[in-house]
Structure 1
Amino acid sequence: MASPSPRSSSFATTSRTPLRPSKVTIDDSCQTEADNTQEQEKQKRKLSQKQKTLSLCQSSIVGHLSPWPTYTSGQTILHNRKPCSDYCRKRAGSWRQQPLGITKPRYLEQLENYLRKELLLLDLSTDSAQELRLQPYREIFDFFIEDFKTYKPLLSSIKNAYEVMLAHQREKIRALEPLKAKLVTVNEECNERILAMRAEERSEISLLKKEKMNLLKLVDKKNEEKISLQSEVTKLRKNLAEEYLRYLSERDARKILIADLNELRYQREDMSLAQSPGVWGEDPVKLTLALKMTRQDLARTQMELNTMKANFGDVVPRRDFEMQEKTNKDLQEQLDSLRDDYEEVRKEHEILLQLHMSTVKERDQFYSELQEIQRTSTPRPNWTKCESVVAGGPDRWHMLAEGKNSDQLVDVLLEEIGEMLLQEKDFFPGLGYGESVPPFLRVDGVVENKKPTKKDVVNLLKDAWKERLAEEQKEKFSDFFFSFLERRFGPADAMAWAYTVFENIKLFHSNEIMSQFYAVLMEKMSESVYVKHKETISQLLKEMTNADSQNEGLLTMEQFSTVLRSIFPFKKEEKIQELMEAAGWQLSSNADWLSYQSLFTEDEEGQVTPFMRMLWEQYVEEKDEYLQELKQDLGLELYEKVTLPKVREALMTIDPSLDKQTLNSYLSQAFQLPLTELPEESEEKEEDIMIKLQTVLERLQMIDIRRRGPREQEPTS
């Protein structure tokens, strides 16, 4: 019996064995190939010895090969029948019904015993267990080829065909291993870049917090200066009032003194007249009485003068009072002017600080972009080389590459390569029954690849969404998806279609329908997000139709902008402008009308218009900004834990328009509690269940969370 040819060593795996992607590098694959070659050489030496042993047993029966079981009856000869025809099946059934009183041929029994012993001796714990398990069968096949001379050419051609095909598949797997290693390297680089960006964000946040504290200290210092100035003004007013009273008293005392002086002058004149020559002739008694009365008047006048001095000694003259009042008024005007100048300078300082912060942020962003460009732009890829690789030629490549940067072009190229590899694959390896495997993919063995087109997959997903939205009893989405496939294709092909659809939607990230379906299926996004997005689009189309009074399918720029602002009242002006530009209206455009119905169309492969894509991208950005604002209001790091009352308070702070039902739905999703078990605000305690902030944000990211109203503004001074 001839020994097996060297090429027969490649007959190590059957077409039923799934080809799993290797997880080792090129060097490891080369080392494994060398070990397999050595193992095959050992098997060849063992085979030659086994053939010698089996040839001794065969020598006794050469020329006596039994035609079992054909000799049992002459009716078993098939004339002009195919090997697998119904007639064969009927005959096989009749053979099973006949009594088996005839034993097997001796040569067949020897071959079966030999095969059983060889299988028991194999070591199936090595990596090449499948090749070792196939070796005894290959030997038996070689025995048949050598013994049956008539069928030897046909059997050899069959064997060679399988060997060529397996060698071709092995070479293809070996060629794809470097690409997988490159993908792993790119994934690691992206993770490192994400970690670096997060570290930069944390450092920038710490710097902003320090600057905020410095500004708060500056504000406190200015407030203290303001209080000191007010106290000085109060003190000056008090001193002014005291000076006014003192000057007033002095003025009144001066007037009294002047009156007294005048009175004394008049009395002296009277006395001088009395001492004139004509006075000596008057009565001395009368003069004595007049002198007495005069002295009394002098005493009374002196007393009044002393009283006046005591009462009005500190009175300020009116002239000095008016001068001080004028000086005080000038000082007050200067104080008001300085206060206005201070407020103006403070506002300018705040504006300059904000401008400085924005400038620093832009500088850092431009610097990081410059570093990224310097790292990735040398050498610049020649994307025109992809025209001959992508199916459809240059025209299709230009359509795919329009308006995309290098990073996006890499994603497009990977999707095209993945699509070609997916079409070449005939079977998918089963993922088993592990807990990490989704329920609709739990199967062992291999599963057939149905190889549908992208259009077929998109239509299938649309039908699934229609049926999902129409059903009344809501079950888990993954269970519904498998039930839908069973109803559409039958239980036998449901698993094959589940693997086929899953591999397609996992590959095409740029297709909005596939990416959204994949996110919902893998529980990375709630169904409510998809439903609410579709309702928003329907409402937008309805409002545009209502604005089209002529029913011509055309809108002006003003009408289009008004509809957008009515549907999205909380979008910023630049977001509205982005939507208008995505719809085809540029700032320099001279068009007067827009066909709005064309904005809501899709092509056969599910690709939406730029306007629809911009709507979805803005929704994702607004959700991220909302959650980032929630994180900033909580003032915690991602690894720190947070309680339900704090999350409730933070949500009401950043979005006061939240109604109670919506707020409770957010809290139920964040803390994974039923709505009936949520505590009321009066029952909440600080020692409630605590969850990491990162977990809360990830759970809220899955649902449809959006702003319900504007945030309350601080009251202006």
Structure 2
Amino acid sequence: MASGPSTITTGDHTVLVLDGGFSSQLSCHVGTTADGDPLWSARFLQTHPEEVVNTHLDFLRAGADIIMTNTYQASIDGFVKYLGITPEEGYALIQRAVELAKRARDTYMEECQNNVEKSPLIAGSVGPYGAHLHDGSEYDGSYADKIAPKTLREWHTPRIKALIEAGVDLLAFETIPCQKEAEVLVDMLNDYPQINAWLSFSCKDDKSLAHGENFQEVAKKCWDSDPNRLVAVGVNCCSPLIVAKLFKGINDNRKHAAIPLITYPNSGEKYNPQLGWIDRDKCVALESFVHEWLDLGVRYVGGCCRTYGADISCIRTQKVFGLSVRKKQNDDKIKNLLRQNEDLREENLKLTLEISKLKKDMGKLKDDKFSDYLTLMRERDARYTLYFENLGLQLKLKELDGSSYPVDDAYGDPVVLRIALDRCREQLSTTQIDLKKMTEEYADTVPRREYDILTAKNYDCTKQVEALNAELQAIQDTHKRVLTLKKGLEEELMETRERCRELERAGTPRPQWELCADFIGGGRDRWWQLASGLSSRDMLRVLLKELGPAAESEQLEHFDGFGTDPVIPPYLRHEGKVRNLRLSRREVSVIINDIWLGKMEHGQDMSMQDYVTNYFEDRYQQPSVRAEWAYNLCAGAEQMLDEPQVKLFWGVLHGHLSERIYWSHRAQWQNLKDLLYKHSKDGETITAEEFEKIAKVTFPLKSEVDIKNLMDVVRKQLKLKIASNEINLDKLFLENEEGFDRVEFARELYRQRQLAQDKYIREVVNELGGKHGANKTVTVENVKRAFAIVDPAIDHIRMERYIRWAFSDQTSELKSICPLPLRTVAARLAAGDIERVGPRYRGTHRRNIYK
């Protein structure tokens, strides 16, 4: 069921896509336009109801979230006047428009198999009073100067009531040219509390309504009068070039209570009364305006006159992907700013290091100068000391001698010089002792200059380590962001592919494929299961393929019997004409599966030819009927040899392939199925990680690539999204009447099994001589040795079975079996159930025990 009006809110930022010009799209179905008709497209509600439904479907398939009923110019008075019907019939015809829209929505939901988040909504179209006058006054609103509000209310009431009773989700008051009629319509919502509506005006320029009032003033007044019942206010049926100018500034003073806006303008073409619509080539595509409109607060966007389903599809694309493009642009700007900020930080760090280095150099210079200063001071003090000691000695000598000669003359006296020399030697000895003591005491001390150099070097290394750590952290953060971006891109890619499939289906009007369901076995459900998500060309191929031999041998009415010769298989022994039943591919598959199931229960020890003979004899007593089904089965199987399961059955039936191939394939399928159900958490679902783990245990010889291919097929068959991690086992192992091997997962298992068997046999043949020894004769011992080398884990029972199959001898002793050419042995091995037991080189694979 469609969502009710309560789902239409104005507090979120959801953008909904409307439909396009109904009359324009409808003309593609009916082959004529409604231009100039006093009822416009409403006339086709009575004359072409199916085309009305198909027009709604065109817009839904193009991606419309809301479709409008074909009632824009519908009125009871108009129907009575121009269709010659009663008022009651006119009232019912308006309600019929809603029913046709609902039919289209139901058909669309069946096509999508309800794989949509929300059901599309249906809006009841309510056009202006002037539209039914058919005098052009709807384009300038001149009728508003002559009509009283009461008259407008009385005229609108019947069709609004009819639309609501028919079950529309909301009302669309559209193409309103004047303030008076807009206020009447908004006030009428109080009479119908269960319904919401939007209000859309018709404007003559980028400021004024068609009647001349200021658009923004009227829009604000109408919104403020009933903001709880109106979902949006905007414009339609105007040029797309003036929409942005009309909307700019309307919500400048309404940051916390902004008015949701709606717009669905014309294509931009101009209407000429003599020439019709012109200037199509000068129009700018509607989707090019979508980004600007969304930035201005538009929450509902679509098209009006001269817009088609393709235009709505383009608008839908802009709505879906436009946000991602702009988000990426903003992310690029932020990345550039962050990169510039990081460069500035690095430059600041370099400058800081340089300043520190300069400060160190200044400190070293100060220390060197202070050291020189101390040295000079000590030297000065030492000279002063020597000078005063020398002076003291001279005074003592003078006192001893009692002489009065000048002190300086004593320097020539040997005694004085001797005393001074002794005194200097004593001081020198004391100084040398102190120097030696200091040398011993400070021998292990690092010189100041070297210490400063090492300290500076340590500081530089520390800064380099810090810079490298910061760079490492930045790289790790970038790596995380890249992983997150990669995951987002994968999800976006999946959504894009789904969207492309949807757009491919909605690109052009499609044939009525639902009619094909009457000719397909299984009816409508099976047809939509086969045709879902396919283009028209692919659906045609599926139809031809499903019809099978009946489509390819249409000219054959009978088959000629092969006679009763003993060389003819028993089930085909018949003389005379056999009627062609024209079995479909599905019917052939069902019969083949029924034969396998019956043989599994009753006749595994019987050959396939004998069992098929008994199968038809048990079901059909009359020989002619028995022959009909047998001949038609063989004819159908010959036409379906492109199907792996049919090719296997055909080969077993004619003795070309071993029947054990089917039973081994079925046993693998059942073994995997039992293990998965055993370890499922609720008896129905299992996680993808657990599935992969169990698959590796079940098939220990499969490569990682094979396991990944199996997982991809599972996701494809169940249509799982990237983020989905739950696998529904009931859906995965669903077995219909055509057999378990019809599903994609079973086909992939069979394909991998055949590839592994081919590789295994090639290795055995290479050990026996390879291609160059094709004509070489090989014995049983040669084959034994080859199997033992290629598959060391093989047991004697399995090896004997393989050898007997290869030499086509099930009874003789192995030693007495005659040699055969290598080409013959290789062909027999390829047609048998030959499967590797273990790896060729022991230790290359390790079996995991899953508990």
TM-score by length of 2: 0.34
Higher helix fraction (1 or 2): 1
Higher strand fraction (1 or 2): 2
Query: Larger Rg: 1 or 2?
Result: 1
